[in-house]
Amino acid sequence: MNKKNDKERGLLIRILSSKDIQKGIAFFSIALILAFAAVIPVTEEEFTENTIEEEAIEEIDYPGYRVLNATLNILEGSSNLSIQDFEGNALLNESIAEGDSIELTEIESERNPNRLVFTDIEGNLTYSYHLEYSRRPYGLLSLPAGLFTLVGMVFAFRGKGVILGEIKMKQMEEEEREKEEKREKGEIEEEVIFEGEDGEEKKGEADHINFMGVPDEEDEEEGR
């Protein structure tokens, strides 16, 4: 049992001491950190307060990120509010006036809002717009993470091949050493070819047979 544990411990030490394996682990670790950073969401907020002059048309871009909360407050004046998608289709048309508050995230639609458009403004329109959304600013880190993963795999497989080759070579040397020890102890007999009289007679007979397997003509005449 101790011998087996020693072999396993030695193999583990050999694996961890391999330069290629160490490089592979390092690249895998960097790839893991980059991949983790790429999926971390960051919550950001925007607050806008603005006044629109009469008969003007105002457009506010709606972010393409995951919106957590979007609130529009009308502080002064009145107008018509149109919430549109990317193709300019109206998702909501509503008249708004001073004191109104609209929760834009509660609008139910299969299409995502893209912009808010104020039209038919009467007097000066003052509004405040609070937006809270989530995004992944480090999403591009997933590209080097994938590259480092591939490089790490190359080093890991190369190190594995070297270690397996060394293990195979060591096993062959141990088997050869064991055979040598058994041979010295007499447990394995050497194969010896004995050439006795029968061997000499057969060898003599073979000398009188040509390459076709037929006896020589001279020998046939002497036999007669």
Segments forming the whole domain that contains residue 148:
2-39+140-179
**Residue 78: CATH number of its domain:** 2.60.120.10
144 and 175 co-located in one domain: yes
Would residue 204 count as lying in a domain?
no
Q: How many domains does the chain have?
A: 2
Q: Are residues 34 and 47 in the same domain?
A: no
Q: Please give the structure tokens belonging to residue 178.
A: 């064991």
In a domain, 212, yes or no: no
Nearest in space to 11 (alpha carbons), one of 137, 133, 171: 171
Same domain, 51 and 112: yes
pLDDT digits (tens, 9 = 90+) for 186-197: 665 555 444 555
- Measured in degrees and rounded to the nearest 5, phi and psi for residue 91 equal -90, -25
> Are residues 116 and 131 located together in one domain of the fold?
yes
Does a structural domain hold residue 219? no
Residues 94 and 27 in one domain: no
Mean pLDDT of the chain: 76
Over residues 89-107, mean pLDDT: 82
pLDDT for the residue numbered 111 = 63
Among residues 156, 120, 133, which one has the least CA distance to residue 16?
Answer: 156
Point out the least confidently predicted range of 2-6, 16-20, 140-144, 198-202: 198-202
pTM higher than 0.75 = no
Whether residue 170 is contained in a domain is answered as yes
Do 46 and 106 belong together in one domain? yes
Tell me the DSSP string of the chain.
Answer: -HHHHHHHHHHHHHHHH-HHHHHHHHHHHHHHHHHHHHT--EEEEEEEEEEE-TT--EEEEPPSSEEEEEEEEEEEEEEEEEEE-TTS-EEEEEEEETT-EEEGGG---SS---EEEEEEEEEEEEEEEEEEEEE-TTGGGHHHHHHHHHHHHHHHHHHHHHHHHHHHHHHHHHHHHHHHHHHHHTSSPPP-----HHHHHHHHHHHTB-TTS-B-HHHHHHH-
Instruction: Give residue 183's identity as a one-letter amino acid code.
Output: R
Give residue-wise pLDDT tens across range 173-224. 777 877 777 777 766 555 544 455 554 544 455 455 554 445 555 555 555 4
Residues 74 and 124 in one domain: yes
